[in-house]
A and B are shown apart, each in its own frame.
Chain A
Amino acid sequence: QKEVEQDPGPLSVPEGAIVSLNCTYSNSAFQYFMWYRQYSRKGPELLMYTYSSGNKEDGRFTAQVDKSSKYISLFIRDSQPSDSATYLCAINYGGSQGNLIFGKGTKLSVKP
């Protein structure tokens, strides 16, 4: 079983839609959860970062972590064409084990 699983999509939605992106992970020892956005031929950009179960909101973005189910989500409200990108979930153990483990990414397209 892979450590992090993410549906690669592609996902196509109309402008204004609510988008739900999800990842599952296998090891309950993971402590830190991040979402990155990557535009084509660019580096990943950190969108959200959390270490506890529950919701964290930042503008149109909400990150949700359910440690009991080992499930993390990113919701995008009022999606815009500029949100079209690949979204990557990333997790790590924290402490001295600093490497992030990434999902393969979900490619999102928001149509005007």
Chain B
Amino acid sequence: NAGVMQNPRHLVRRRGQEARLRCSPMKGHSHVYWYRQLPEEGLKFMVYLQKENIIDESGMPKERFSAEFPKEGPSILRIQQVVRGDSAAYFCASSQGSNYGYTFGSGTRLTVV
């Protein structure tokens, strides 16, 4: 079991470009969560998805950010027109359900220049 796979590990984007972050959950896990971690800050919840459905997006900025978890393929977190403040580590986690422990991936470190 390869665990939660995130790619790319590092992503550099110029201001105004789009960033796409991918997450493949653990085998057997149908719940996916995205978190953002800023330097010296804790992990902040962004969005919770199950296959083809957004369950809770209360932590995601209303503009420029979107997430999907299609029937086939990985979950995608998309950030349009990136700004310097988007620079952070983005972590994906998966679980069998919200009443179970969550397994995190190694993260994607986004740098906006």
Residues of A within 8 A of B (CB): 6, 32, 34, 36, 41-46, 49, 51, 88, 90, 92, 94-105
The answer, yes or no, to whether B7 is at the interface (CB within 8 Å) is no
Q: How far is the CB of B13 from chain A (nearest CB, A)?
A: 19
Residues of B within 8 A of A (CB): 4, 6, 31, 33, 35, 41-45, 48, 55-56, 58-59, 91, 93, 95, 97-107, 109
Instruction: Say whether B55 contacts A102, CB under 8 Å.
Output: no
Instruction: Say whether B105 contacts A98, CB under 8 Å.
Output: no
Report chain B residues within 8 Å CB of A46: 101-104
Bound-complex Cα distance A105 to B58 (A): 22
Bound-complex Cα distance A88 to B105 (A): 16
Other contacts beyond A96-B55, A97-B98: 8, CB < 8 A: A42-B107, A44-B104, A46-B104, A94-B98, A98-B55, A99-B48, A99-B56, A99-B59
Residue of B nearest to A98 (CB): B98
Instruction: Say whether B33 contacts A104, CB under 8 Å.
Output: no
5 sampled A-B residue pairs with Cβ under 8 A: A34-B101, A51-B99, A99-B33, A102-B43, A105-B42
Bound-complex Cα distance A52 to B70 (A): 35
Bound-complex Cα distance A38 to B52 (A): 30
Instruction: Say whether B106 contacts A95, CB under 8 Å.
Output: no
Bound-complex Cα distance A101 to B35 (A): 10
Instruction: Say whether B101 contacts A92, CB under 8 Å.
Output: no
Report chain A residues within 8 Å CB of B104: 36, 43-46
Which of A88, A95, A98, A103 is B31 in contact with, Cβ under 8 Å? Answer: A98
